[in-house]
Amino acid sequence: MAKSITVEISINAPVEKVWQCWVEPAHICQWLFAQDDWECPEAHNDLRVGGRFSSTMRAKDLSSSFDFTGQYTDVQEHKIIEYTIDDGRKVQVVFSTEGDGTKIVETFEMENTHSEEQQRTGWQAILDNFKKYVESLK
């Protein structure tokens, strides 16, 4: 079994809003990148068990790009999303109400290219970007 990493964040927004921002392609394109010099120009999401997702992440200067793709294995609205990335790694995202806000706990299996710290930092940076985006919405 592959080693897993867990990252988490608390967001000052109700779970319904957090969920909407997490799953709708128009929102995904606003936050799914780890650094300000990257972007997500395209996202597709068929949010159901067996449904597929794909998001393109690329450097704004177009020097690098990759697609993040996979298939959903469990979807429980406002509670949990599980999927398998096309490279075979499994991911679980748990949403829970925390007072007036929402906590997200994301656990993913490590890949073998980057160090554990690089992976933790990258996935956490995306969560941080998500928080900033959701909390900026009125």
Q: What is the residue-level pLDDT of the chain in tens, covering all 138 positions?
A: 679 999 999 999 999 999 999 999 999 999 999 899 999 999 999 999 999 999 999 999 999 999 999 999 999 999 999 999 999 999 999 999 999 999 999 999 999 999 999 999 999 999 999 999 999 997
Return d(Cα 2, Cα 41) in angstroms, integer.
31
